[in-house]
Every structure is written in C-alpha cells, then in structure tokens.
Amino acid sequence: MLLNHVLGNVEYHKIVPKSVPLPLDHQKLENFEQRWKAKELRIGYNFDDGFIKPVPACVRAVERCDKELIYFPIPEPEKAASLFFKNILCDGGAYLNKTFSENPVDPFLKRFALLLKTFSAPNWQLLCAYVRTTNDVRQSQEQLDNYVLKFTELMMTAGLDLLIVPAFAFPAIPYNSCSDLSTAAFETGLYNMLDYSVGCLPVGKVTADDDKTLADETQWATDWNPLFKKIRAAAGNSKGLPINVQIVGLPFEDEKCLALMRILEKRIDDCQLE
C-alpha cells in the first residue's frame, strides 16, 4: 500500500518535514472491520451539501453503499459556502489575479464572470462572499474556526464514525460547461475547508435510468432555477461515466476512511461478480 511507504517513513519525513511522523495503524483498520461485521458502527450520510442539488446518479451512489445509514445534514450550508468562498478569495482575488495575469484568458472564464451577474441562490452566495479589509479577513477566519468546531461537535454528538457523501454533485461534464457550474466545487471543498480525513471511492457508473430520471422534471425538478437547468443540460447523456462517493472522517482518522473504503470496494466487487 502506497501510504505504508509514506506515513511514518523516516526518509520521507526528512524530505517533507511537515508530514505527520506516524505510521499507518493497521490495528485500527482491523478493529474497524471487526466493528463493521458486528454492526457496531454508526455511519452518517447526506445526498447534498445544502447548496447544490446532486443528479440522481450521485444520489444512487450514496444509497448503494449501505441501507443502514444515519442522516446527517450539513449544518448552516449557506454560511459554510460563504466561508468557503471567502477563504479562497480572502485577498479579494489579488493572488489569483497575479498568478494567472500573464496567462491567456480562457473564453469560458469570461462567461463565468458574466454568469455571476445572473441572480440565483448559489451565485448570490458567491457574490456575497468577499472581504474588504484585514479585519474582515480575521473575522472570517474566526467564523471558520467556530464553524469547524460546530461541525465536529455535531458529528461527535451524533456518535458518527464516518460520513458517506457524494464526491461531486454530478459526473464529469463537457469542458465548455465547467465555468457555468464552478460553484459545485463546494461539495468537495467543504471537507478540505474542515481539514477532515477524506477518501474518494468509485462505486459505479451512470445508467440509462439515471439519465432518464434527470431529464424528468417530475423526478428531478429544476424549479425554474437556472443553475439546475444547466446541470441537467451538462450532465445529461452521461451513461457509462464513473460516479464516486467521499468517505469522510474527523481529522487524523485516515485508518477509518481506508477501512470503510476497503469494505465497500470488496462489497461492490462481489456484487458485480454475482
């Protein structure tokens, strides 16, 4: 296993001093698998981040993992999204502007700027996520610290070992649609912002039924939301594309994530052989 050659490796730690000098705990992996067999685990789930609605295939990806999951909604998703975008652009975008100023401007990036002027709930959240002064930056950092604490406390109060959530709100989409749907990055970025342990696991592929459900307004309603209409247009006809889930644990619980990934991977492989 690759991580065995990285985590706790003295030579690697010399090369990357900031790496955690602790080896992978195989006893934790075995204990987790034993608890799984004994049905002692509490695994949480949600289908969306409260910000972007996932397509049917991504919902099914989570459902496929287990039937005995505990619903765990994202606390204050609008606040979390605002903090996420604030921390990306905490300097008003100056760093990114300087980094990319000498590169050719992608025509789809120009369209992204235009789309921000179109009102929708996610766009409005993104537009509001800005900082004007160093005081704003410090305030947003404190708010983020408090949000991480709240999220962690809620997980611990619920007694959850891990979460299973979509890796993204939709499967791979055409390149020319990416600028329209960049706000969907929050699904993945949320757990980076929380600095949690996360593993990504492929669990299947988009089916023809998934595409059919996505196209049906009665089953996957856009509710006149222009963003959802763009998701439907971009993610339609995705049959055969892979769909993944994220296995999410609290900080430094990598062994738990790896153990559940191994369990689910074996279960999925066994189902495919039947």
Q: Which domain holds residue 198?
A: 25-273
The pLDDT, as a whole number, for residue 119 is: 43
The residue among 120 and 77 whose pLDDT is bigger is 77
Query: Per the domain annotation, does 142 fall within a domain?
Result: yes
The percent of residues in the chain predicted with pLDDT above 90, rounded, is 53
Residue 205: pLDDT over 80: yes
Q: What is the 3-state secondary structure (H, E, C) of the chain?
A: CHHHHCCCCHHHHHHCCCCCCCCCCHHHHHHHHHHHHCCCCCEEECCCCCCCCCCHHHHHHHHHHCCCCEECCCCCHHHHHHHHHHHHCCCCCHHHHHHHCCCCCCHHHHHHHHHCCCCCHHHHHHHHCCCCCHHHHHHHHHHHHHHHHHHHHHHHHCCCCEEEEECCCCCCCCHHHHHHHHHHHHHHHHHHHHCCEEEEEEEEECCHHHHHHHHCCCCCCCCCCHHHHHHHHHHCCCCCCEEEEEEEECCCCHHHHHHHHHHHHHHHHHHHHC
The pLDDT, as a whole number, for residue 138 is: 84
Q: How many domains does one find in the chain? A: 1
The residue among 17 and 216 whose pLDDT is bigger is 216
Range name among 18-22, 26-30, 93-97, 158-162 with the lowest pLDDT average:
93-97
The pLDDT, as a whole number, for residue 222 is: 92
Query: Per the domain annotation, does 67 fall within a domain?
Result: yes
Query: Per the domain annotation, does 19 fall within a domain?
Result: no
Query: Per the domain annotation, does 65 fall within a domain?
Result: yes
Query: Per the domain annotation, does 246 fall within a domain?
Result: yes
The pLDDT, as a whole number, for residue 126 is: 55
Residue 168 sits in a domain of what CATH number? Answer: 3.90.1300.10
The residue among 63 and 177 whose pLDDT is bigger is 63
- Judged by phi (left if over 0) then psi (alpha if -120 to 50, else beta), residue 176 lies in alpha
Provide the mean pLDDT of the chain: 85
Residue 57: pLDDT over 80: yes
Distance CA 205, CA 57 (A): 8
Query: Per the domain annotation, does 85 fall within a domain?
Result: yes
Query: Per the domain annotation, does 31 fall within a domain?
Result: yes
The pLDDT, as a whole number, for residue 125 is: 53
The pLDDT, as a whole number, for residue 111 is: 58
The pLDDT, as a whole number, for residue 209 is: 97
Residue 19: pLDDT over 70: yes
Query: What is the tens place of the pLDDT at every residue in 229-260?
Result: 999 999 999 999 999 999 999 999 999 999 99
Query: Per the domain annotation, does 5 fall within a domain?
Result: no
State the pLDDT confidence band at 128, using cuts at 50, 70 and 90.
low
The residue among 206 and 24 whose pLDDT is bigger is 206
| Predicted TM-score of the model (pTM) | 0.86
